[in-house]
Amino acid sequence: MAAFQRAAEMARRTEAELFLLHAMEARPVISQWYPIEGLGEMSVELQEKAKEAMESLLRSAQESLLGVNVKTAITSGRGFEEILENARVWGADLIILGARGSAGVENILMGSTAQRVVDLSDCSVLVVKSSGNGEAR
């Protein structure tokens, strides 16, 4: 949330377009726990939940996004690859992302997605650390 708040603030101040990306990183499913025939349905449910979450985020930030041209995308794949590819397609000047995502404790100092984006991006990257209450530090 802190990265989104920072991105919205910067877009508003600089009159830039804001591209929001939700990259759903698929995890392997062990078929004995979840039947193979249900995987398609599960994928659709995940897409719907991602769309609802994006819409909820935009509704909650309506005031801070006044005058900002916002475009959204929901993709599936490896997070860092989706971020880099979409930034390239969109012609991004800056990528803003959180220091840690929701993938768990994969890297103590910085999430592995953020680290890979920093290492591989063709444009500048701002990694926003969040305090315990979700505010940007």
In a domain, 7, yes or no: yes
In a domain, 133, yes or no: no
In a domain, 39, yes or no: yes
In a domain, 41, yes or no: yes
In a domain, 10, yes or no: yes
pLDDT digits (tens, 9 = 90+) for 31-67: 556 555 655 676 778 889 999 999 999 999 999 999 9
Domain CATH number, residue 65? 3.40.50.620
Q: Domain tally for the chain?
A: 1
Cα–Cα dist 7/93, whole Å: 12
pLDDT digits (tens, 9 = 90+) for 116-137: 999 999 999 999 998 765 555 5
Share of the chain above pLDDT 90, in %: 63
In a domain, 24, yes or no: yes
In a domain, 116, yes or no: yes
From 3-7, 25-29, 114-118, 129-133, the region with the lowest mean pLDDT:
25-29
Domain range holding 24?
2-128
In a domain, 95, yes or no: yes
Reading the block at residue 44, the tokens are 């659709």
